[in-house]
Structure formats: structure tokens, C-alpha cells
Amino acid sequence: MKIWQLLDPKNLSYATGLIHMGKKITSQMTQRTCYFLSCLRPSTNPLILRTEMPIRIPLKELFSAGKTAFGAWNTIPGIGIVRTISSTPGISWVCVDAEHGQINDTHIYAHTTAISASGCSPIVRIPDANAWWAKRALDAGAHGVMVPLLRDAASVRETVASMKYPPHGIRGFGPMYTHHAFGPDCTSEEYKAGANDLYVLVQIETKESIQNLEEIAQVDGLDVLFIGPFDLALNLEVSFGGNEHEDAIQRILKTAHKYGKKAAIYCTNGDQARIRAEQGFDMISIATDVDILANGYAASISRATNLDTNVSSGYSAT
């Protein structure tokens, strides 16, 4: 493979210019020895060639290809659970839910290990906007951190800063347990070079966040506006699925894209997810583990006994 084939697509014009100038690059190089440093933001970093591999983020690869990223929600502790979820064809990310799930700090490392080993991106939802929680999740190997219930641009800026190394933020450097999530050959220096490109996701689900939506969407370093539809309906005091609720969802979608951010939303099933994908959402959950388990067992026992065994579990009950 020629070296210009390894360049980031956004910089192909640069490679073409070199060719037209007669400076053809003909050396055969392996991916390990030469590649474009795509893990750093092109707005702040010129075309650079390095001799290490970048950290691999499957979610970023899908976004770069313009594809919809379908994912799943993990609330139950256990490597077997997350490995089963992340091994499902078509799943590109798994949210490890440390806010409402039964996940605690000691589970996150094991879960990010299993998810990344399956070729998916582990996204950790932390309980709130505490900087130490974000640092713990990232140090455990998260490819991105989701923060719930943010209300204004100032709190979003603080969240972004907590996830970036200086000079872009205040995150402390201690990646002793991050390497497993980015490939077996990832080094501390490689992780440090790409760590500021890990995903920052904030949930838009409060009345204040809707009021401050334009300002929030313009925060530098923020990557994804993630809609929490249930809290959004509660906080707006509107009916879930009603016109006012849907209007707010569509406003978030349009505003995210207006300012170059990705728009994401939580769905409880594949039918909902298909509709949201057709609307243009970039990142969509398709189901939650506890709902799949409860509804799956209920359906099987219903067939076996002819009993009505409808269950109310998790978000699927709403």
C-alpha cells in the first residue's frame, strides 16, 4: 500500500498536490511504521507522519465514514453480558451505564476490556458531572464519556475540560489501565497523543438545556448531543411521544448538525431506532440488556404455558 493511501481523507488534496509536484511517494510501508496522525484534530494539527499506530476508536471510524452508529445499553454487571452484547453483528458501541444501571467503579475496567476486545467502542455514562468520575472512566479505557442532566454551556465547558489533557483541559495523566481498550500494541505515548480525541457526550434532557441549546452546541471539544427522551419529557412536563416532546427532539437534532456535532438518541427497540436513523440521527441505541432478558423470558414462558406474561421492565415499561 502506498503511503498516500494511509492519509486521512480530509487531507487527500495534500497528497494529490505532492504527486502533481512530482514528489511521488513510492515506498511500501506497513501500517505499523507509517500513517497519518488522524487521532489529532485537523483544525489544530498539521499533516504529520509518525512511526506509531494511532489509538483505534471504532465509533470514530463509523462517523468518519458517514454511517449510523447503532449501539446497546448495558446495565447488568458481568463480562459475559457485555461480551454477548458487543459481539452482536451491527453493534458498534455499548453504553456502560453507571448512572441508572447496577454498574459501579470496579466493573468499568472489565466491561471496557470485553467491549473493546469485540471491536466495539465502550462508552461510559457516569452518574453526574464530577470530574473525578470522568477521569476514572477514561483511565479504565472508555472511548467516550456520557454526562447526564447538564443544563448550560458553562457546565459543558467544565465537563469537556475534565476529559482533556493540558493545555486543553485539566485531566491528570495516569493511563496505567487504558491500553487494553485500544489494541495490544498501544503505548502510553500513543494513548496520550490520541486521548484528547476521545468522545465527550452530554445528555440534553432538561428544560434548561433546551433553553441554552444553541450555546451548548457551540462548545468547543463537545462531540455528541445525546437525547435522553424520558427525562426530557419529565423535565419539559410534556407527554412522552407527544407533539411537544417530538418537537424538542427534532430541535436538538437540527441544532447539533447546525454546529457540526453528532446527534444521538436513546431508543428501546429496533423499530424506534430505524425511524430515528431515517430522521438523520448519527448514534442510536437499539435496546437495553435488562429489557431484552425480561421480555425474552416472558415471551418464551408465554408460549410454553399460554399465560399472559407481559412484563414491565426498565424503559420498555414506559
Domain that holds residue 261: 62-305
Q: Give the pTM.
A: 0.80
> pLDDT-based confidence at 314, cuts 50/70/90?
low
**pLDDT of 313:** 60
Query: pLDDT-based confidence at 185, cuts 50/70/90?
Result: confident
Indicate whether 21 belongs to any domain. Answer: no
Non-local (6+) Cβ contacts of 99 within 8 A are 125, 126, 127, 128, 148
pLDDT band at 151 (very low <50, low <70, confident <90, very high): very high
Listed in order, strand segments (DSSP E) in the chain are 35-36, 49-50, 69-74, 93-97, 121-125, 144-147, 199-204, 224-227, 262-265, 283-288
The pair phi, psi for residue 125, each rounded to 5°, is: -90, 120
Q: What is the mean pLDDT of residues 41-53?
A: 33
- Average pLDDT rounded to a whole number, residues 4-29: 38
- How many other β-carbons are positioned within 10 Å of the β-carbon of residue 23? 9
Q: How many CB atoms lie within 10 A of CB 300?
A: 11
Nearest to 199 by CA among 147, 149, 254: 147
Determine phi and psi for 110, rounding to 5 degrees. -65, -40
95 part of a folded domain: yes
The whole-number pLDDT of residue 54 equals 60
Is residue 213 in some structural domain?
Answer: yes
d(CA 122, CA 92): 9
Evaluate if residue 204 carries a pLDDT over 90.
yes
Q: How many domains does the chain have?
A: 1
Question: Residue 274: which CATH number?
Answer: 3.20.20.60
* CA pair distance 298, 302, nearest whole angstrom: 6
Q: Is the pLDDT of residue 16 over 60?
A: no
Q: pLDDT > 90: what percent of the chain?
A: 64
Q: What is the mean pLDDT of residues 72-100?
A: 97
| Residue 15 scores a pLDDT above 70 | no
Q: Above 80 in pLDDT, residue 42?
A: no
Q: Which residue has the higher pLDDT, 200 or 303?
A: 200
Least confident of 168-182, 251-265, 272-286: 168-182
**Cell 418464551 belongs to residue:** 300
The pLDDT tens digits of the residues spanning 206-256 come to: 999 999 999 999 999 999 999 999 999 999 999 999 999 999 999 999 999
CA pair distance 43, 127, nearest whole angstrom? 32
46 in any annotated domain: no
Strand (E) or helix (H) holding 225: strand 224-227
Residue 233 lies in a domain: yes
Does residue 176 form part of some domain? yes
